[in-house]
Amino acid sequence: MRLSTAGESHGKGLVAILEGVPAGLNVDLEEIAARLAARQSGYGRGGRQKIEKDRAEILSGVRGGVTLGSPVALFIPNLDYANWEPYMAPEGCDTETKKLTKVRPGHADLAGVMKYGTEDARNVLERASARETAARVAAGTVCRQLLRVLGVEIAGYVRAVGEVSDGKEYSFDDLKKKSPVLSMMDTELEKRACAYIDRCREEGDSCGGIAELRVKGLKSGFGSCMTYREKLDARLAAALMSVQAIKGVEVGLGFAAAGKRGSEVHDEIYYDGAFRRKTNRAGGIEGGMSNGEEIVLRAAMKPIPTLMKGLGTAEYPSGAPARAAAERSDVCAIAACCEVLGSALAFELACVVCERLGGDTVAEMKVRYGALS
């Protein structure tokens, strides 16, 4: 399976092309719309979310709501393009009025203008923007639907917002009850998190957080210990790290394992007609392969780098001191990021599953998956 996305933040729209989807999958457009809406939600979001009401249109690969086996192409129009057409139209536009030379710390601006030989950071930021993730959510939802046919489900919640952290553990089913406000589980902690976001907003600042992702129903043996590029934990970590603003990924105990003894880290095995583990500190992955337990991943999102108070920077290419421009931005987007991370995870898992099972149709894949222990 392969996913390509295209489009700029203020361009005509976003395109996702998903290759390798087997024939016979029922595609639920309403779920795609719901997940796109979830990507735009969460306490701390900025003004653009009031403009864009994302909805995906299927351009190809589906007939009568069912995949054909050909590439699935999805299009999400940017409603804000009407305001930006004079400055973004590919056919010809004014490239000076919205020119950005005060390169912003924490963004792709400076490295991008140097790499691509331009003096206008807009040529970089329009593509580097997290707006691109709408295309990945649309495609990732199709992948979720494929995995669901096999009995594999993905869920996630916000574990921390800035300095407010939830150290409790929750079951997979509990995660269905997460709050719509900030995707947290503990309502009291969520109130504290919202207050923290408010303080950041008042001070012209921003904050990040930690999202936890779970995968339930994946059988053992996905991934490999034989070739290291196929290690499941490496592939899933890379998928999460590919999401904008993610600076760290943990599997299972993650970094906490380094401070514990082996007896406190490794999961003892028992047999009751099937091999099982007494704990799940490994996060469902051992030796680069799924072990049949729930997969547990956490991703750390850095604070939004566009601050309303602006950060010190320099004009490019002159080097003159400047204050970074404050494009319309969020204060905190960890709830939205949680949705994006789930979609990125769904795509990579679908790739791993399709590689092992093969098959041109969903029916073939179901039979092959059912035959696995």
pLDDT in the model for residue 156: 98
45 closest CA partner among 144, 173, 180: 180
Give CA–CA dist 300/72, Å, rounded. Answer: 31
Q: What is the DSSP string of 173-196?
A: GGGGG--TTTS-S-HHHHHHHHHH
Instruction: Dump pLDDT digits (tens) for 213-256.
Output: 999 999 999 999 999 999 999 999 999 999 999 999 999 999 99
Give CA–CA dist 334/244, Å, rounded. Answer: 11
Residue that is written with structure tokens 């393009």 in the block: 81
Structure tokens at 212: 């936890």
| Structural domains in the chain (count) | 1
Give CA–CA dist 144/152, Å, rounded. Answer: 8
pLDDT in the model for residue 310: 84
CATH of residue 71 = 3.60.150.10
Walk along the chain (373 residues) in steps of 10 and give the mean pLDDT of each run. 97 98 98 96 77 88 98 96 97 96 95 98 96 97 98 98 97 95 97 97 95 98 95 98 98 97 96 92 98 98 89 95 81 97 98 97 98 93
Q: What is the DSSP string of 59-105?
A: EESEETTEE-SSPEEEEEE-TTHHHHHHHH-TTS--SSTT---BPPT
Virtual torsion, Cα 266, 271, 275, 277, nearest 10 deg: -30
Contact 39, 47 (CB under 8 A): no
Contact 206, 331 (CB under 8 A): yes
pLDDT in the model for residue 126: 96
Give CA–CA dist 22/93, Å, rounded. Answer: 41
pLDDT in the model for residue 23: 98
pLDDT in the model for residue 47: 61
CA-angle at 106, arms to 114 and 124, nearest 5°: 40
Structure tokens at 331: 């204060």
pLDDT in the model for residue 328: 63
10 Å CB burial of residue 85 (0-12, 13-18, 19+) is: middle
- What's the DSSP call for residue 134? H
Instruction: Dump pLDDT digits (tens) for 123-168.
Output: 999 999 999 999 999 999 999 999 999 999 999 999 999 999 999 9
Q: Which domain holds residue 156?
A: 2-370
CA-based Rg of the chain, rounded to a whole angstrom? 22
Please state the length of the chain. Answer: 373
Give CA–CA dist 367/349, Å, rounded. Answer: 18
Give CA–CA dist 76/14, Å, rounded. Answer: 5
In sequence order, the β-bridge partners of residue 16 are: 5, 74
pLDDT in the model for residue 51: 60
155 closest CA partner among 168, 140, 174, 136: 174
Virtual torsion, Cα 343, 347, 348, 352, nearest 10 deg: 140
Virtual torsion, Cα 243, 40, 72, 129, nearest 10 deg: -40
Gap between the terminal Cα atoms of the chain: 24
